[in-house]
């Protein structure tokens, strides 16, 4: 072996060598959100293993360096070289960052990945991130989210009027147009608020993540689908300056790991959600409901109206929206046909056990 001095590149193991690089990563997901937190652990392991331990990434949970909603800021300021967070947390910096994650009645998980990686979406999104000194790669996928937890059933629009629901982001904006009194609460505040009746309903992610927060103990009515987050993806946001300083081999390793983990997180939710939902129904007396067509139709109308308004107000938003719409106009009918036909015939052949 050559170069075993203290500040010389060295193969710690793995049979390769390269410069020593130590990065910090801030994530928006606490360890309890284990699949998405697991994404960052996996990133650190893969990057280290692929570089013989020379490129290390230390993961910081929310609050350790920055709060959950300031991950992008931390990367912009160079506090961390990278961060893992969904773009739609940062629509205050630019409204079109919503498309990096998901929008109401947007893409399902596969369509979202396809639009980003094959349909030109990521180039558009990264042209926005570039203004903040960031380059991003999609690295997490939650599967289609659920419609959330309600203390009482909601049948039609009249049941939404005045309902106090915790729902952030664009989903909250649309719900507000449907008459809901929207509240925004961080994860630790939701359960207590629901328990003491300060809110009537909340949404979170899906069965696997929701089960751990225990909403089923105080709200027994679980609705689907989560039309405001049909295919949420989260991104690895990387400081452009830190990226440019990486050896090109490390850039490749990092980028490839993001692609692997994007698929791996979705596979994780697809494996964990069915069992979690079964437990919620069978062991915890949860009743499953589908949103009524009255609510769905109104949500569809208001969601499209909202996106059109934003597009009219902001040219960058319009550019991204036009790309999104063109992709959606082809993807939706195709998915409804071939694979939709398979799903409609086959999936109901097996009933919930």
| 226 touches its own copies by CB under 8 A | yes
| 264 touches its own copies by CB under 8 A | yes
By CB under 8 A, which span of 72-80, 163-171, 192-200, 222-230 interacts with its own copies?
Answer: 222-230
Nearer to its own copies, 62 or 109 (CB): 109
Nearer to its own copies, 224 or 306 (CB): 224
| 169 touches its own copies by CB under 8 A | no
> By the 8 A CB rule, do 257 and 28 touch?
no
Q: What angle in degrees, to the nearest 10, is found between the helix axes of 109-118 and 315-346?
A: 140
Pick from 233, 230, 264, 206: nearest CA to 332: 230
- Rounded to 5 degrees, φ, ψ at 29 are -105, 125
> By the 8 A CB rule, do 53 and 13 touch?
yes
The SS3 call for residue 330 is helix
By CB under 8 A, which span of 83-91, 167-175, 213-221, 271-279 interacts with its own copies?
Answer: 271-279
Residue 29's Cβ-count burial label (10 Å; 0-12, 13-18, 19+) is buried
**74-103: which residues touch its own copies (CB under 8 A)?**
none
**112-151: which residues touch its own copies (CB under 8 A)?**
113-115, 117-119, 143-144, 146
Instruction: Candidates 79, 176, 181, 256: give the one binding its own copies (CB under 8 A).
Output: 256
| 305 touches its own copies by CB under 8 A | no
**323-352: which residues touch its own copies (CB under 8 A)?**
327-352
| 109 touches its own copies by CB under 8 A | yes
Instruction: Candidates 46, 80, 142, 183: give the one binding its own copies (CB under 8 A).
Output: 46
**308-327: which residues touch its own copies (CB under 8 A)?**
327
Instruction: Candidates 18, 87, 148, 171: give the one binding its own copies (CB under 8 A).
Output: 18
| 184 touches its own copies by CB under 8 A | no
What token pair was written down for 36? 């998405």
| 283 touches its own copies by CB under 8 A | no
Q: Which residues of 202-214 are buried (b: 16+ CB within 10 A; e: fewer)?
A: bbbbbbbbbbebe
d(CA 1, CA 250): 21
In the DSSP assignment, the letter for residue 97 is G
Instruction: Candidates 34, 247, 306, 319: give the one binding its own copies (CB under 8 A).
Output: 247
Nearer to its own copies, 204 or 250 (CB): 250
By CB under 8 A, which span of 74-82, 160-168, 191-199, 241-249 interacts with its own copies?
Answer: 241-249
| 277 touches its own copies by CB under 8 A | yes
The beta-strand segments (E) located in 203-302 are 221-224, 233-239, 287-290
d(CA 335, CA 31): 34
Nearer to its own copies, 66 or 277 (CB): 277
d(CA 129, CA 72): 10
Pick from 148, 186, 142: nearest CA to 38: 142
| 7 touches its own copies by CB under 8 A | no
Q: How far is the CB of 270 from its own copies (least distance, A)?
A: 4
Residues in the chain: 353
| 306 touches its own copies by CB under 8 A | no
């Amino acid at each position: 072996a050559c170069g075993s001095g203290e500040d010389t590149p060295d193969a710690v193991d793995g049979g390769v060598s390269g410069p020593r690089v130590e990065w910090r990563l801030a994530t928006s997901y606490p360890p309890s959100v284990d699949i998405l937190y697991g994404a960052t652990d996996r990133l650190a392991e893969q990057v280290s293993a692929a570089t013989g331990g020379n490129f290390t990434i230390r993961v910081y949970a929310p609050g350790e360096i920055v709060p959950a909603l300031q991950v992008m800021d931390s990367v912009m300021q160079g506090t961390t070289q990278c961060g893992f967070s969904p773009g739609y947390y940062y629509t205050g910096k630019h409204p079109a960052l919503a498309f990096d994650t998901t929008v109401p009645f947007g893409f399902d998980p596969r369509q979202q990945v396809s639009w980003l990686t094959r349909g030109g979406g990521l180039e558009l999104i990264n042209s926005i991130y570039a203004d903040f000194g960031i380059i991003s790669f999609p690295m997490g996928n939650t599967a289609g989210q659920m419609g959330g937890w309600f203390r009482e059933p909601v049948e039609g629009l009249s049941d939404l009027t005045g309902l106090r629901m915790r729902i952030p982001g664009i989903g909250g904006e649309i719900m507000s147009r449907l008459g809901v009194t929207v509240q925004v609460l961080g994860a630790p505040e939701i359960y207590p608020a629901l328990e003491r009746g300060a809110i009537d309903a909340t949404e979170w992610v899906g069965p696997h993540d929701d089960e751990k927060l225990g909403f089923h103990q105080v709200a027994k009515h679980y609705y689907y689908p989560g039309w405001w987050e049909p295919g949420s993806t989260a991104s690895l946001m990387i400081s452009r300056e830190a990226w440019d300083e990486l050896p090109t081999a490390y850039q490749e390793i990092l980028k490839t790991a993001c692609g692997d983990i994007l698929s791996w997180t979705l596979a994780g939710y697809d494996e964990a959600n069915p069992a979690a939902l079964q437990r919620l129904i069978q062991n915890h007396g949860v009743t499953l409901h589908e949103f009524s067509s009255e609510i769905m139709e109104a949500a569809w109308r208001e969601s499209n109206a909202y996106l059109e308004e934003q597009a009219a107000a902001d040219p960058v938003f319009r550019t991204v929206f036009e790309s999104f719409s063109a992709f959606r106009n082809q993807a939706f009918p195709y998915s409804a046909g071939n694979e939709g036909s398979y799903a409609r015939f086959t999936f109901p052949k097996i009933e919930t056990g």
